[in-house]
């Protein structure tokens, strides 16, 4: 249970870590090199998808029902037989050394302090084993980008299982990299600069190919593996056969894909458009969520990702049927500003805003939150 006393008074908030997303972004911009910042901030092509994410949140309003006792707030959520006190999860964001030397190590330590599940990207700066060692008792999921050499993918899955990760998240919207005009404009490639090497250079299959001369160097090897346009639904069965861990698909936007995911026997899905970084011109993730929730109908967990910048945003996503909400850019900006402490403070602020929103909306549990009435511009939900 979380009571009113758990929501920090304004005097206790670290003034160096902005509580507003736009301010957070502005401070982070001053802390790291321009190209690093633009890589995090930017999206694909004309960034219409990024704008659509924000428009979707702005188009939804909720109607509070008051005079309910909200002295005690229960935000507990159970995922894969483990209960967490907050309905959040750290979204997998790659190459965290772009923001801070401690990179993913700082993030997973903050996640452990907060009790929020952490997702590690395939293209992390530190290896999955190093990240596991930084928070050995904490819940960690491994996000998998399928490799052109599928034996590398199977090796990474096995390594994650051996290191204590509790689930595999297969990202399905990144078979090739999006057309990121901001990076192309300044000719910036963080992979070429070595930021994504953690899991590759520590992989035995990758190292075997490197030693045999199949790759000119490790950067060449990474580039030869990250483009996988041949990835199809048939690969899901291969993954399920290779691991006993729960398997989630990240990047679902169409109800038909949600139905296919059920047919394939996956254990969860993440409604996501990759934060607007992959395909430009697609709908906001929040607009996709309600129909997907209907299709899934409680059979497997539905997580939500893309465009969550505040506690109010998280409230809306959960009210529309998400079971957990993935947080990405906000914590990355916190990392850029103040490392581990910055991540912890940003996520604490976001959670405190979420609890405040629940209390003022007259709901005291996540079950009650899902019954909140929402109005979408020009319609009623």
Asked whether residue 372 carries a pLDDT value surpassing 50, the answer given is yes
186-225 burial, b at 16+ Cβ within 10 Å, e below that, comes to eebebbeeebbbbbbbbbebbbebbeeeebeebbebbbeb
Lowest pLDDT segment from 3-17, 262-276, 290-304: 3-17
Would you name the residues annotated as active-site residues? 274
Per-residue pLDDT at 380: 57
pLDDT digits (tens, 9 = 90+) for 282-336: 999 999 999 999 999 999 999 999 999 999 999 999 999 999 999 999 999 999 9
Pairwise CA distance, residues 155 & 84, whole Å: 29
For the segment 95-114, the average pLDDT, to the nearest whole number, is: 98
Would you mind telling me the total number of residues written for the chain in this entry? 381
Please compute, for residue 291, the number of CA atoms within 13 A of its CA located in the half-sphere on the CB side. Answer: 13
Please, which residues have CB within 8 angstroms of residue 242's CB and are 6 or more apart in sequence? 154, 157, 158
Confidence of residue 12 (pLDDT cuts 50, 70, 90): low
Cα(294)–Cα(62) distance, integer angstroms: 19
| DSSP symbol at 137 | T
pLDDT digits (tens, 9 = 90+) for 326-345: 999 999 999 999 999 999 99
Share of the chain above pLDDT 70, in %: 96
Question: Average pLDDT of the chain?
Answer: 95
For residues 358 and 364, the answer to whether their CB atoms sit within 8 Å is yes
What are the angstrom distances between the C-alpha of 350 and each of 232, 309, 330? 36, 8, 9
pLDDT at 7 over 50: yes
Residues 274/278/280/285 CA torsion (nearest 10 deg): -10
pLDDT bin (cut points 50, 70, 90) of residue 14 is: confident
Q: Write down the pLDDT at residue 379.
A: 67
CB 321 within 8 Å of CB 289 = yes
Q: How far apart are CA 372 and CA 246, in angstroms?
A: 30
CB 91 within 8 A of CB 326: yes
CA separation for the pair 83, 102 (Å, rounded)? 28
Residue 297 CA: distances (Å) to CA of 175, 293, 321, 336? 28, 6, 10, 39
CB atoms within 10 A of CB 60: 20
Angstrom distance (rounded) from CA 62 to CA 176: 38
pTM metric for this prediction: 0.95
* Burial class of residue 362 (count of CB atoms within 10 Å of its CB; 0-12, 13-18, 19+): middle
Q: Which residue has the tokens 């052109």?
A: 148
Q: Residue 363's closest CA among 63, 87, 82, 96?
A: 63
Model pLDDT for residues 200-257, shown as the tens digit of each residue = 999 999 999 999 999 999 999 999 999 999 999 999 999 999 999 999 999 999 999 9
Q: What whole-number distance in Å separates Cα of residue 379 and Cα of residue 381? A: 7
Give the chain's radius of gyration (CA, Å). Answer: 20
CATH of the domain at 186: 3.20.20.70
How far apart are alpha carbons 90 and 111 in whole angstroms? 8
Q: List pLDDT tens digits, range 113-146.
A: 999 999 999 999 999 999 999 999 999 999 999 9
| Reported confidence tier of residue 381, pLDDT bands at 50, 70, 90 | low
In terms of residue numbers, what domain contains 251?
2-380
Structure-token pair, residue 7? 């929501």
Tell me how far apart the alpha carbons of residues 246 and 158 are, in angstroms, rounded to a whole number: 13
pLDDT of residue 4: 43
Confidence of residue 13 (pLDDT cuts 50, 70, 90): confident
Q: What is the mean predicted confidence (pLDDT) over 86-90? A: 99
Number of independent structural domains in the chain: 1
Strands 72-73 and 2-3: antiparallel
Give pLDDT tens digits for 137-171: 999 999 999 999 999 999 999 999 999 999 999 99
Residue 267 has pLDDT above 60, yes or no: yes
Give the pLDDT of residue 35: 96
Find the helix packing angle between 329-361 and 311-319, rounded to 10°.
70
Average pLDDT over residues 48-73: 96
């Amino acid at each position: 249970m979380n009571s009113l006393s758990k929501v920090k008074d304004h005097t206790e908030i670290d003034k160096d870590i902005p509580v507003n997303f736009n301010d957070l972004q502005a401070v982070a911009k001053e802390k790291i090199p321009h190209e690093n910042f633009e890589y995090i901030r930017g999206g694909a092509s004309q960034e219409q998808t990024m704008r659509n994410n924000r428009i979707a949140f702005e188009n939804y309003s909720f109607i509070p029902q008051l005079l309910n006792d909200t002295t005690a707030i229960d935000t507990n959520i159970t995922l894969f037989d483990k209960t967490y006190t907050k309905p959040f999860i750290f979204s997998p964001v790659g190459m965290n050394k772009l923001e801070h030397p401690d990179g993913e190590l700082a993030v997973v330590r903050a996640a452990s302090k907060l009790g929020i599940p952490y997702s590690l990207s395939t293209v992390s700066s530190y290896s999955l084993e190093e990240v596991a060692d930084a928070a050995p008792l904490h819940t960690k999921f491994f996000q998998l980008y399928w490799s052109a050499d599928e034996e590398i993918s199977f090796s990474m899955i096995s390594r994650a299982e051996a290191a204590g990760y509790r689930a595999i998240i297969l990202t399905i919207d990144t078979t090739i990299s999006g057309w990121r005009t901001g990076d192309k404009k300044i000719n910036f490639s963080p992979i070429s600069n070595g930021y994504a090497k953690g899991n590759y250079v520590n992989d035995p299959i990758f190292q075997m190919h490197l030693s045999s001369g199949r790759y000119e160097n490790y950067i060449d090897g990474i580039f030869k593996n990250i483009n996988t346009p041949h990835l199809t639904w048939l690969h899901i069965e291969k993954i399920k056969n290779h691991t006993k861990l729960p398997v989630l698909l990240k990047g679902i936007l169409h109800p038909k894909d949600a139905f296919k995911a059920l047919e394939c026997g996956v254990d969860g899905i993440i409604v996501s458009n990759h934060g607007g970084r992959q395909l430009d011109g697609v709908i906001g993730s929040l607009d996709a969520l309600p129909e997907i929730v209907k299709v899934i109908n409680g059979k497997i967990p539905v997580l939500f990702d893309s465009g969550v910048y505040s506690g109010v945003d998280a409230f809306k996503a959960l009210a529309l049927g998400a079971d957990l909400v993935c947080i990405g850019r906000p914590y990355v900006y916190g990392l850029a500003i103040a490392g581990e402490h910055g991540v912890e403070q940003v996520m604490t602020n976001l959670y405190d805003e979420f609890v405040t929103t629940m209390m003022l909306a007259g709901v005291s549990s996540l079950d009650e939150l899902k019954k909140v009435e929402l109005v979408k511009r020009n319609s009623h939900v």
